[in-house]
Amino acid sequence: MTLGFFDGVHLGHLALLKRLKELSSDLGAPSLALTFDARPAFRSQLLLTSLEERIALLKAAGVDEVIVQPFTEEFAALSPEDFLREVVCGKFNAKLVLAGYDCRFGKDRAGDIEALKALAPKLGFLCEEEPPFLLKGQIVSSTLCRELLKEGKLTELAAALGRPWALTGEIRPGKGLGHKLGYPTANLALNGLLAPPKGVYSAKYELNGQRGRALMYLGSRPTFEKCGEEMAEIYLLDFSEDVYGEKLKVVPEKLLGPEKRYESAEELKEAIASFVEQAKA
């Protein structure tokens, strides 16, 4: 088994999961990834992937079973040794634990890879350390990926993730502002996920098996609202059906312009028309 939060399921995680599959095959045992439903309060921050996405990506990497551990107060209070004894050994009867070089576990994150190696013989399981994954001499980590996304470095982020970053969610009704301007949008809530810088992006989308070009706006609509909710509004260039409640995946590609407040709806409409032409190119 392996354990971690696995935010983003980036190339470093994928290398670890590939090694996990090799080890489980050698041992003739199923592979298991233990992840958590929420981050501890002291590390609360916007995330790259939702829990649903994280589970799907872990399973897509070939893990036989993904277990989500609720991060309760009782669980958080377990010492590193108690965590290994009660959860890793007692609950899952692990034959081998594969852990990243920077792993942390137990109360106050007091356990590290050296503690794991020291406790493994005592508790009766094998232990292996996965080294850092380097891309162009830089360690690939969830922290790095979050920084790249916040800076809008989408090409570099795609390289670190092993896939383009995408926003996926259920289309929800908006206020109809885009429709009034002649550009009806599919609206996605960010739901605590990290997003690129505010602005207008050319993008690709997937919806009900159909793929196409899109224009994505990230922001809080300053032309119409003083304190609007930040969300994603996607104008599908070649799709006009009613899609409320459907699942949409959108991949931003290039920032066409930063968020700004327009003096009138007509000025905004002209700007959108220009962005649409750029997105088609």
CA 77, CA 148: separation in Å to the nearest integer? 33
Better pLDDT: 246 or 263: 246
**0.75 exceeded by pTM:** yes
CA 276, CA 256: separation in Å to the nearest integer? 10
Please state, rounded to an integer, the average pLDDT across all residues of the chain: 90
CA 189, CA 191: separation in Å to the nearest integer? 5
Q: What are phi and psi of 67, to 5 degrees?
A: -110, 130
Please write the tens of the pLDDT for every residue from 42-76: 566 789 999 999 999 999 999 999 999 998 889 99
DSSP class of residue 230?
P
For residue 227, the model assigns a pLDDT of 58
Please, what are the domains in the chain? 2-145 (3.40.50.620), 166-280 (2.40.30.30)
Q: Locate 112 and state its tokens.
A: 């590290």
Where does the pLDDT of residue 279 fall: very low under 50, low under 70, confident under 90, or very high at 90 and above?
confident
Highest mean pLDDT among 51-55, 176-180, 238-242: 51-55
For the four alpha carbons of 191, 197, 198 and 201, in that order, the dihedral sign comes to negative
Please write the tens of the pLDDT for every residue from 190-208: 888 999 999 999 999 999 8
Q: Quick check: 217 pLDDT over 90?
A: yes
Q: Locate 279 and state its tokens.
A: 């997105």
For residue 224, the model assigns a pLDDT of 60
Please write the tens of the pLDDT for every residue from 75-114: 999 999 999 999 999 999 999 999 999 999 999 999 999 9
